[in-house]
Amino acid sequence: MIIKNKSSDITWHRPIISREDRQQVNGHRSAILWFTGLSGAGKSTLAHAVEERLHRMGCSTYVLDGDNVRHGLCADLGFTSDNRTENIRRVGEVAKLMIDAGLFTLTAFISPFRSDREGVRGMVMPHEFIEIYCQCGVDVCEARDVKGLYKRARIGEIKNFTGISSPYEAPFKPELVVNTADQTIDACVDQVFTYLLDHDLVSSKR
């Protein structure tokens, strides 16, 4: 996951304003909330619902959504294993910049490979990466099939589809497991906020 610079003619410019300065202005620490799970598991829905609540509390936030990123930053990538790894590497680098900007950065990506997720974890401080596993079985995700993707994957129209023709590696020790199959969206949001409160990432006084 570590990419070496192709040029020796560049140097790191140390900024005047630090991450801590930006966090002080924002009134909260910054962190990556990394939502992972199968297509249809509710990652985007949950990420945006959590962001909405954080925003109402006055927190500085941004959601990096899997589909949206592939319209621009990662528009040149397909869905082979190598392309998926590069997709997550790029997202990780963007999320790292947003951490430096003092934001709560919420990412909604299948991110099927553990090594890719751990690669992003390694880009930031240990307490800044919060892996949230949206636990939902293939049968439930396929029954929802809000985008019609599973149906197309079953008949071979979509290749390398996670959960059907490409593997998903569930986290071994995520910071949080949210059962999006059985719980309501409000209950899932509450669970995320309980974690954030317990780890002093947000304050109940905001």
Distance of CA 154 to the CA centre of its chain: 26
Residues 6 or more apart whose Cβ sits within 8 Å of residue 142? 40, 150, 163
Please list the active-site residues. Answer: 111
Q: How far is 129 from 149, CA to CA, in rounded Å?
A: 29
Three-class secondary structure of residue 104 per DSSP: strand
Q: What distance in Å separates the CA atoms of residue 206 and residue 204, rounded to the nearest whole number?
A: 6
